[in-house]
Structure 1
């Protein structure tokens, strides 16, 4: 009887496995292979392959080698690649609501609070409607933590922002800092080093402290905010909806589970790397400014004015913003 049951179970397992056709997913990221996040994405690719018993192969395209970073989302929609591993903030031209899944600016203090909104605060369903309308499926986020402002001048509080010229990404950030008296200049990421070196800008919003060290920014400037407070962007994994729906439940579950592993490890490793970088920079004479809770609250108030404006720019933006606000109130971060 035991051998009969074992044989029946084995046959059922084989029958189930046979239903899953091997699949290759083509995924583009803007990170380079040697970047810490790029290395972790390679581990994610390997996890998916091993967990699926070779049933899923992830073909990674690093450093936006297929299309430009901002075009990755469209490339996935149009079948040039299958999945986009960049970030939603690049798609505000499609719908302003993507700002609130890319970088809410001045909202959450830690990656864990923001992850909590996505998975338990109603964020996933609210965001999924936005992605599905573009024939895309949001799988999940990766959040490496708060970004640091780097500067050739002290940047200890609001007074230091007056007339401060800095590299800013496009979008809501420029509006917030302009109202605070700063002079944001939108420029490509690759132009930051030269612009700082030549004095075109006083500082830059580039990345987190550890990543900024890798970029060589503190070879030029000797001031930075840490821990950061103004920006905590979320990268995403988003796949063509038809491709996603064509996978089996087992394949989808494997991809999602492996993504949650890598996304949380990115946040954990970045926390350690930032702490080590802060210690080393302090020894090297770089001054780090930890803004007070009062100053952080004031920045969040300034950011909220920009949130409310962006929330009027599309019904989806208003819906996702309201979801954030409800959760931020529960966390005591806004009134």
Structure 2
């Protein structure tokens, strides 16, 4: 009997020792605005699984979905102050802190594809310039995850710049309103929750919301029958940013694991939405929705209007100027601008 009892104690001690050995050495608490049921939310969960698996359980990530801790726009500050450790929303929410965040959040009329935008960050020195901005607020930029070009949705055709004249549409605040207004459109800043009523009552003719697949998922094309696709005007960069002291506390091997997992998330996000948007486009065409693909010349017209706004915003802070100069130089190497 004593032998059995000793064996049981030994087994329990062994199991306890194993569980202790497997306990995480480090934990990062990160918030995203995406829900766990959304495509981007599922991709974020895969990122968590990748980090925990590659680290052998040494690094645990607590992911808070659907902005469940603080409001989306407050995520960055919550991470910087220690309520959270990481922000998985986007830099565009922080433009009020420094106009430079416009050019890490949504460059507006800049690159044609996520791959070009990733190339600026990862292979052209863009990361160093961007991270200097984040470091000023005690945050470390880890990387981007970009779902691709957004599509404008409208009750009237938007086949080129001429169709923007007097076009009334819902726009987010900031640089976008300036660019479209300079092209003759009538942007109206409103919360997206008001869009459906505004469309039904004729207050607006269209809206800027998201990529084509996301637009389909919320039923936009039950109301309107025109959209731009592929998009050209906006390609937001969601980011992962971690509080600087929490990042610096990680050993180099765990940092590398997070960086590699982030680049996988970057790749998978662009790849997943490329397929989803094309599938959505095929179904919409069958349903009688007209998709307008702007010509290279028309996209260049929008990009020229955007550049004028970039230069105005570059005057707002030294960081904004550094980022604009970096983007412009790289776009010239790609032949996107002259």
Q: Which moved more, 1:158-167 or 1:141-150?
A: 158-167
Q: CA deviation at 1:22?
A: 1.0
Given the alignment, which residue of 45, 51, 69 partners 1:66? Answer: 69
Higher-Rg member (1/2): 2
> In the aligned structure 2, how far is the partner of 1:192 from the partner of 1:268?
29
Map of 1:189 onto structure 2? 192
1:332 lines up with 2:338 in the alignment: no
Map of 1:134 onto structure 2? 137
Map of 1:237 onto structure 2? 240
Given the alignment, which residue of 143, 146, 149 partners 1:146? Answer: 149
1:204 lines up with 2:207 in the alignment: yes
Map of 1:51 onto structure 2? 54
SS at match of 2:128: helix
Give the gaps of 5 or more residues in structure 2. Answer: 1-20
The number of residues matched between the two structures is: 317
Q: CA deviation at 1:21?
A: 6.5
Map of 1:228 onto structure 2? 231
1:171 lines up with 2:174 in the alignment: yes
Q: CA deviation at 1:63?
A: 1.1
1:297 lines up with 2:323 in the alignment: no
Q: Deviations over 1:191-241 (max 9, x none)?
A: 323322332211111000011001110011100000000111100000000
SS at match of 2:258: helix
SS at match of 1:28: strand
The answer as to whether partners of 2:28 and 2:61 remain within 8 angstroms in 1 is: yes
Map of 1:102 onto structure 2? 105
> In the aligned structure 2, how far is the partner of 1:93 from the partner of 1:235?
17
CA RMSD across the alignment:
1.2
Map of 1:4 onto structure 2? none
Given the alignment, which residue of 88, 107, 112 partners 2:91? Answer: 88
> In the aligned structure 1, how far is the partner of 2:168 from the partner of 2:65?
32
Map of 1:265 onto structure 2? 268
Given the alignment, which residue of 91, 98, 115 partners 2:118? Answer: 115
Relative to the length of structure 2, the TM-score reads 0.92
Given the alignment, which residue of 1, 23, 31 partners 1:28? Answer: 31
Map of 2:319 onto structure 1? 316
Map of 1:40 onto structure 2? 43
The answer as to whether partners of 2:24 and 2:57 remain within 8 angstroms in 1 is: no
Q: Which moved more, 1:90-99 or 1:152-161?
A: 152-161
SS at match of 1:70: helix
